[in-house]
Amino acid sequence: MKNTVFTGAGTALITPLTKDGVDYGTFADLIEWQIAEGIDALVIAGTTGEGSTLSDEEHRAVLKFAAEQIRGRVPVVAGTGSNDTAYAIDLTKYACEVGCDAMLLVTPYYNKATQGGLVASFTAIADASTKPCILYNVPSRTGCNLLPPALSVLADHPNIVGVKEASGNISQIAEEAALCGDRIDFYSGNDDQIVPILSLGGMGVISVLSNLLPKETSRMCHLYLDGDVKAARDMQLKYLPLVNALFCEVNPIPVKAAMSRMGFGENYVRLPLTPMEEAHEEKLVALMRDAGIAV
């Protein structure tokens, strides 16, 4: 078995933004709160962190700031994937240099790739990295599905240690787990499938929900991993309405609204994203209150 980056819940952290740029004061407060709440890892500048609309300068600055703020207290997973392999290599090298602990590498989007192209691209990035890499399969966003045979090939690379599976296809994930065994760690990429993926041998989740509920999302994972399947299942079902509300508009629109209500910065997303519709936000806030979140 390869070295595991983390076990439990890693928050796919929002990047607090204003019209003038990154709100680093709020970003620091958010990081400190997440750590105090017991989160197991923090994922920086991924999908939820709006990495796709950060400038290159902002992207690098956010990764460096997070690594320096966290100071080794939890693993820092840097979103460094791209549909341009050369750029992903360059950004990955930078993230390694500034102290990030692992990379999150999304499958190429828009130009996409064949399965052979995915193997070649991920291999090139992992070869250039001095830190472990977690692949990210989210075909609903990228139009590109990393299939079990290709993942099995990539699992043999010493720097490829995990996969965030957000295909939503439990049958595919089961096939991947059967092919790869303990050569790669699995993380749920969907908050409504945390327990199902743990049941297939998963190590945890890279989560949007844990922006709001870091302690509870981590607890759900660790309850299952410690053998209390019923308690973990009950938590999965308890938070399902809130999870659904967090994805009623494209992520990270709802979670940005939620975190603003909790006092973590402005409800600001960059175009082409726009703020949450008022009716949807009212329902989200009601579910947050039901979950015991002060808003």
Strands 17-18 and 21-22, by their bridges, are: antiparallel
Q: What is the pLDDT of residue 115?
A: 98
Q: Which residues contact 278 (CB under 8 A, 6 or more apart)?
A: none
Residue 25 placed within a domain: yes
Q: Which residues contact 241 (CB under 8 A, 6 or more apart)?
A: 287, 290
Residue 180, pLDDT > 70, answer: yes
What is the number of structural domains in the chain?
1
In the residue annotation, 187 being an active-site residue is answered as: no
Alpha helix segments (H runs only) across the chain = 24-36, 56-70, 85-97, 115-128, 139-142, 148-154, 170-180, 194-199, 214-225, 229-238, 240-246, 253-261, 278-290
Residue 257 placed within a domain: no
Nearest to 186 by CA among 166, 162, 210, 208: 162
Domain CATH code at residue 95 = 3.20.20.70
Q: What is the pLDDT of residue 294?
A: 82
Query: Is residue 2 very low, low, confident or very high in pLDDT (cuts 50, 70, 90)?
Result: confident
158 alpha-carbon distance from chain centroid:
22
213 alpha-carbon distance from chain centroid:
14
Annotated active-site residue in 64, 131, 136, 239: 136
In the residue annotation, 256 being an active-site residue is answered as: no
pLDDT tens digits, 52-101: 999 999 999 999 999 999 999 999 999 999 999 999 999 999 999 999 99
**Torsion angle, CA of 181/207/220/144, rounded to 10 degrees?**
-30
Q: What is the pLDDT of residue 25?
A: 98
Domain span holding position 95 = 8-228
Residue 264 placed within a domain: no
Residue 134 placed within a domain: yes
C-alpha 214/C-alpha 206 separation (Å) is 11
Q: Which residues contact 125 (CB under 8 A, 6 or more apart)?
A: 80, 81, 85, 88, 89, 92, 103, 105, 133
pLDDT tens digits, 187-227: 999 999 999 999 999 999 999 999 999 999 999 999 999 99
CB count, 10 Å around CB of 171?
A: 8
Annotated active-site residue in 64, 164, 187, 224: 164
Residue 293 placed within a domain: no
**Torsion angle, CA of 129/8/31/128, rounded to 10 degrees?**
0
Q: What is the pLDDT of residue 295?
A: 84
Q: What is the pLDDT of residue 1?
A: 64
Residue 84 placed within a domain: yes
Residue 17 placed within a domain: yes
Contact 267, 18 (CB under 8 A): no
pLDDT tens digits, 110-169: 999 999 999 999 999 999 999 999 999 999 999 999 999 999 999 999 999 999 999 999
Residue 13 placed within a domain: yes
